[in-house]
Amino acid sequence: MTKRIALVTGGTGGIGTAICKQLHDDGYQVVAGYYHGGNHDKAQTWQDKLKNEGYDIALAYGNIRDFASCEACIEGIRKDFGTIDVLINNGGITRDTTLRKMSPEYWHDVIETNLTSVFYMTRLVINDMLEKKWGRIVNISSINGEKGQFGQANYSAAKAGMYGFTKAVAQEVASKGITVNTVSPGYIATSMIMDVPEEIREEIRKGIPVGRFGEPEDIARVVSFLADDKAGFVTGANISANGGQYMH
């Protein structure tokens, strides 16, 4: 049987890497999307490292803020492997500051990278999924899209916007064998969190009922479930994976 093809945007980051590994273990042909400002060597180093660990994961370059670049990325994957069966919209950035100091550039950078990109990538794969009458789309949001966060009006707005997008598209394609869901991680022990000063990090940890930060693998396992054939009755959902830090 031909392997299903899974594209993970932001695939070379902390959570993205864990998702790529998990989907590889699940039997998919995994493609890690990356941009890195055009730093191809960085992506190649990542690929080589994973290959040494036994993971054969392809790379696909694309600027998810640019529709034409996304189009070229998808076309390249289609040419090399075939049409995409599973899309994980994981790429994103932060540009934190309070609203009164936030520049239009900070606003647009985050909205375009974290939200508009989800429209671009989903729009470019949805027709192939409709044709096959099967597909899985998982959008990686954030606890801060659920509850808001001081200094993150742009990020919280983008991540909250994913929910509306997820629910609308899920309704459009539910009868065609395609599911669309959102996962909202809490504080995950990636370099972004681990680089925070220890005393601040400890205060954050104290606010998590399970008593620890999440691991990237915690998120990858949720994605694995949603991407599975047997998860076909779950669509339009948002799954919170935050250690109990925010319950609603």
- The set of catalytic residues is 155
Q: What is the pLDDT of residues 73-120, one digit of tens each?
A: 999 999 999 999 999 999 999 999 999 999 999 999 999 999 999 999
Contacts 24+ apart (CB under 8 A), 197-203: none
Predicted pLDDT of residue 42: 97
pLDDT at residue 195, rounded to an integer: 82
Give CA angle at 234 (209, 146), nearest 5°. 40
pLDDT value of residue 193: 83
Locus of tokens 């995994």 = 30
C-alpha triplet 195, 196, 198: angle, nearest 5°: 105
Q: Is 22 exposed, middle or buried (0-12, 13-18, 19+ CB in 10 A)?
A: buried
d(CA 240, CA 219): 10
What is the model's pLDDT at position 248? 87
Hey, what domains does the chain have and what are their CATH numbers?
5-238 (3.40.50.720)
List of the chain residues with pLDDT < 70: 1
Determine if the pTM surpasses 0.75: yes
- pLDDT number for residue 1: 61
pLDDT of residue 2: 84
